[in-house]
Amino acid sequence: MADATATAITHIASLVTNDPSLGSGPLGLIQDAAVVIDGDRVAWVGESSKAPATDNRIVAEGRALIPGFVDSHSHVVFAGDRTEEFNARMSGRAYSAGGIRTTVAATRAASNNVLHANAGRYVREALRQGTTTMEIKSGYGLTVEDESRALAVAAAHTDEVTYLGAHIVAPEFADDPAAYVDLVTGPMLDACAPYARWIDVFCEQGAFDGDQARAVLIAGAARGLIPRVHANQLSYGPGVRLAVELGAASADHCTHLTDADVDALASSGETVATLLPGAEFSTRAEYPDARRLLDAGARVALSPDCNPGSSFTSSMAFCVAVAVREMGMTPDEAVLAATAGGAAALRRTDVGRIAVGARADLLLLDAPSHVHLAYRPGVPLAAAVWRGGELVK
Ligand SMILES: [Zn+2]
């Protein structure tokens, strides 16, 4: 129960708890609600009229409160600029995975201080927009030294650190990809595993095939890293089924799916389908079919996929709006995917929901309902953000 030093947020027009036992529907909606924060945790949730007395009180004045967004997929440890590549692509040139090499060269040449400053900039940018949990990957170093220092930078900004040495084959190994896989699963893994919770691989034509991806993920799992997979983004392929087979936490992108891929995701109790519509938006590509996945029974998450090449946005609200407009999701489904879905993709139960004992990660919207995230695209609706009970915006 809350003590006298707790803070109550009262008169919340609409509260998204993501706990169906607390309110109506899958979002567990409560109208005219209150939430009490005590320390870094949620101490009480209910109707505003029944809120316990606290020393501190914030009156939400008819605004909506939702869990902080949980972004399970980002690439914010990088240096360099790809404005010209984007400009060229928007002028008619097709995207290819090779563009990553531009960022690899700039990242290798950057100091640790530059990488820290850049990562921190995008983590804070996302936080101001309501993202209170953010996974961060390596993948622009592709040497033992550069991958491990990228992960050290990531670990300074988040607990959700992902080793992505298998982003593309390092340029030095273009003629011998097998030797690069040996490096990624050998000395590079040794150097990187201490910093990371997750291991990821870009399973795609032009990156790593199914056998190579399997070798990378199995080697990581043997070191205690949990798999996640860049799967079926640019073409059909084995990535999604490999992710499900290996019990990966997430198959990310899921843009080109066969019925067998959809069935595999729907019948998996472990692997979340994480959709990254910023990538299709920024490359003028076809969006993933969220409706098909949801109707089949798959668990879906949304993430901006913040990276300097294919999706240079940190805005989860933007992804919610695109998912509703272009991918067949309802506003409720999109908000659930951006919060609880991301938490599931990171196997977290302390974030992505507002219930007693959860981390007090909260986003107060300058709107009466969470539906406004889709209804008012491009409008900055984050009125206040708490992370671990601390008001950070
Ligand atoms: Zn990615």
Distance CA 13, CA 370 (A): 10
* Through-space distance between the first and last CA atoms of the chain, rounded to whole angstroms: 26
- The annotation places the binding site for Zn(2+) at 73, 75, 230, 305
- The annotation places the binding site at 73, 75, 82, 140, 167, 230, 233, 305, 307, 309-310
**Tell me, what's the pLDDT at 4?**
54
3-class state of residue 196 by DSSP:
coil
Provide the residue count of the chain: 393
CA proximity to 15, closest of 60, 56, 49, 53: 60
DSSP H or E run through 133: strand 131-134
**Tell me, what's the pLDDT at 125?**
98
In angstroms, how far is CA 267 from the centroid of its own chain? Answer: 22
Ligand 1 centre distance from Cα of residue 230 (Å): 6
Ligand 1 centre distance from Cα of residue 137 (Å): 8
Distance CA 136, CA 91 (A): 30
Ligand 1 centre distance from Cα of residue 392 (Å): 27
Residue 182: CB partners within 8 Å, gap ≥ 6? Answer: none
Ligand 1 centre distance from Cα of residue 388 (Å): 27
Three-state SS annotation for 34-97: EEEEECCEEEEEEEHHHCCCCCEEEECCCCEEEECEEECCECCCCCCCCHHHHHHHHCCCCCCH
Ligand 1 centre distance from Cα of residue 302 (Å): 12
Ligand 1 centre distance from Cα of residue 61 (Å): 38
Name the strands in the sheet holding 226-231, side by side, starting at the edge strand that comes first in the sequence. Answer: 136-137, 161-166, 198-203, 226-231, 250-253, 272-275, 300-302
pTM above 0.75, yes or no: yes
Ligand 1 centre distance from Cα of residue 229 (Å): 9
In angstroms, how far is CA 227 from the centroid of its own chain? Answer: 15
Ligand 1 centre distance from Cα of residue 231 (Å): 10
Ligand 1 centre distance from Cα of residue 320 (Å): 18
Query: Tokens for 2?
Result: 């809350």
- The annotation places the binding site for N-formimidoyl-L-glutamate at 140, 307, 309
- The annotation places the binding site for 4-imidazolone-5-propanoate at 82, 140, 167, 233, 310
Ligand 1 centre distance from Cα of residue 307 (Å): 7
**Tell me, what's the pLDDT at 377?**
98
Domain 7-68+352-391, second-level architecture: Roll (2.30)
Ligand 1 centre distance from Cα of residue 201 (Å): 9
Instruction: List the chain pLDDT tens, one digit each, 393 residues.
Output: 445 589 999 999 999 999 999 999 999 999 999 999 999 999 999 999 999 999 999 999 999 999 999 999 999 999 999 998 898 889 987 655 458 889 999 999 999 999 999 999 999 999 999 999 999 999 999 999 999 999 999 999 999 999 999 999 999 999 999 999 999 999 999 999 999 999 999 999 999 999 999 999 999 999 999 999 999 999 999 999 999 999 999 999 999 999 999 999 999 999 999 999 999 999 999 999 999 999 999 999 999 999 999 999 999 999 999 999 999 999 999 999 999 999 999 999 999 999 999 999 999 999 999 999 999 999 999 999 999 999 999
Domains of the chain: which residue ranges? 7-68+352-391, 70-345
Strand partners, 134: 71
Choose the CATH number for 70-345 among 3.20.20.140, 3.30.70.360, 3.20.20.370, 1.25.40.340.
3.20.20.140
